[in-house]
Amino acid sequence: MFQTLQSVAPLQQIIPMGTRSKLSFLTWNTNGFKSKTEKIKTEIERHKCHVAFLQETHINSTDKNAFADFDHWKSFYTKSKTKERGVAILIRKDIVGKSKIFTRRDTRSCYIAVKCTIKGQLYTLVSVYNHQVDSRPLKSLQILLEHFAEGILLIGGDFNIALNPYLDRDSSTKNERHLMLKPSVEKFMTSFHLVDVWRRLNPTARQYTYSNVSNNSNESIKIHSRLDYVFVPEESMQCVESCTISEENCCSDHQPVLFEIRSHTNRKSRNHLDVSGKEEKKDLSKFVSMVSIQWLSCKEKFWDQKIVFSYSQNVFKIMNVMDVQKAIESLAGNEKVERKDGVSLLFYKSYYCALIPYLCAFYHKVLKQQLTIPKSFNKGYAVSQHHYIFNVDYLILATIMARWLSDHLDSHSTDHTVDETTKQNVLFAFKKGPKKVPWNFLKSCFTTEQQREPCLPTKFKIDILENILQNSSDRRHKMLYWGCPLTPVLMRLCLTHIAERFVEKVKQPKAKIHISQDNVIVSLYEKVSSDLLKQAETELPCVHCKFVDELTRVSV
């Protein structure tokens, strides 16, 4: 049906190429800037940071060259009319050189985004102050990043919420502002598959970034919360070396959050597809044909089978064009990183208009089971012990299916705040290491979900999910690898069902289940023995069950 272009090189085993180096970052709500410039500068340099994200700088429109004393830094910041806002990004001059730098600023001084090349790697850096009473900037930032973000996306800031009130706060006082902001922050995270980096690396620890004393009814209450976060897209977690919260005294009521990134300076793959910059763009039909021929030639070789597409209205009913486009826009990672099939994320993002009809037709065939899924479709390569890089067409379908499942789970989820009348709180979380889940357990979870109203969407095919998840060596388990968009939502599904079975076993039907991205908390009204926790762990050996009060706590 299609002829192969001469420019498409034979596929070969892809091995990540390039050099590695580490970059140190800091995100910090400084609670002011002008009155303590030297202290802030000393703090940043003491941590030997290459890049600093700052919030609540309080720099106003009359201030000129606020960072004049930062001789070795390039500074990008907002000016605000209101005292409590203002954000900044500082980058050491010696790492950014003379490369082009692009910036976008929020008119309300709640975020700033900087796109630049650091040591040969393109980054989009974002400093955020999520105001307590205004969720509009976060919505605006989401729209901006869909079109502005390139390279590795790193977001640091004060989001003014405790994502998990049981682990990220040590006060039982109800915070209405947190409750209002939480859905908008979670939606923002979902839109780009963002990971709360510190929590991912510390799934059961309790440590805080903010401390204050609140006077309530003539009683002083000391409040500790984790409000400051580092977010990166799921695929970029492979670059994270470490993330820690500073425990040393500093000149703010917030502690700095420090993180290190392994910077990979990748060369473009020898079989990277590229049709840009020539006369093809002048003739739209010729340009679209050029893109599709290159993509199809590459995919047919990789799958080792001929794919013939036919179009009908049904194709777009099963797989909506906007679903595919939004999935492509949400994939924030290194656009030029090498994939096994030789087709980069940059190619999909650059030419999605030409590719979407073919993708919709292919996914339609997959979901309707008219096409056998190629064995290589779900294969990636390991970049760390448990993190994989997958081909983009696989990531798109996994993203869409993950959103269908996530929307379904959200429709049955109820958010709970800390209840003082509960006697015990129990945490369920996956252990570090391989996420090896029996397929029979996953199927039983889906059987239960199909019986809930509203039901799982008919487009979500469980047998297709069975085919696109990687098998263990015994073929009875599914491996949930970091890097696949389905992994976090399937982990959430598993933890929720284990928690529900635990509630049934302890015979406390009024117990509350609090579901977050990385764990599930069960609030019990009667205490239970630790033996019941051990029994709960036997249902899924890769999950542990602990009393929240016994979790590690680090004081501020």
CB 489 within 8 A of CB 532: no
Mean pLDDT value of segment 282-292: 69
Distance (Å, whole) CA 325 – CA 131: 30
| Contact (Cβ atoms closer than 8 angstroms) between residue 484 and residue 465 | no
The phi-psi region of residue 451 (left if phi > 0; otherwise alpha if psi is between -120 and 50; otherwise beta) is alpha
Residue 395 CA to residue 381 CA, distance in Å, equals: 13
Q: Per the structure block, which two tokens stand in for 284?
A: 């739209």
Cis peptide before 454 (omega within 30 of 0): yes
Q: What is the mean pLDDT of residues 431-452?
A: 91
Q: Which of 385, 495, 494, 377 is nearest to 442 (CA)?
A: 494
d(CA 419, CA 166): 10
Distance, in Å, from the CA atom of 167 to the CA atom of 519, rounded to the nearest integer, reads 10
CB burial of 272-293 (b: ≥16 within 10 Å; e: otherwise) equals: bbebeeeebeeeeeebbebbbb
Pairwise pLDDT comparison (379 vs 495), residue with the higher score: 495
Tokens for 355? 């590719």
Domain ranges, ordered by start, for the chain: 20-265, 279-377, 405-554
487-516 confidence digits (pLDDT tens): 999 999 999 999 999 999 999 999 999 988
Topology of domain 20-265 in CATH is Deoxyribonuclease I; Chain A (3.60.10)
Max mean pLDDT among 190-194, 297-301, 382-386 falls in: 190-194
Helix pair 136-148, 176-191: axis angle to 10 deg: 10
Please name every residue paired with 438 in a beta bridge, in sequence order, or none if there are none.
477
Q: Quick one: 92 exposed, middle or buried, by C-beta within 10 A (0-12, 13-18, 19+)?
A: buried
pLDDT at 201 over 70: yes
Q: Per the structure block, which two tokens stand in for 59? A: 């720099």
Q: Give the model confidence (pLDDT) of 56-104 as tens digits.
A: 999 987 788 889 899 999 999 999 877 778 999 999 999 987 889 999 9
Of 211 and 458, the one with more pLDDT: 211
Q: Which position has the token pair 């490369």?
A: 99
> At 96, which amino acid appears?
V
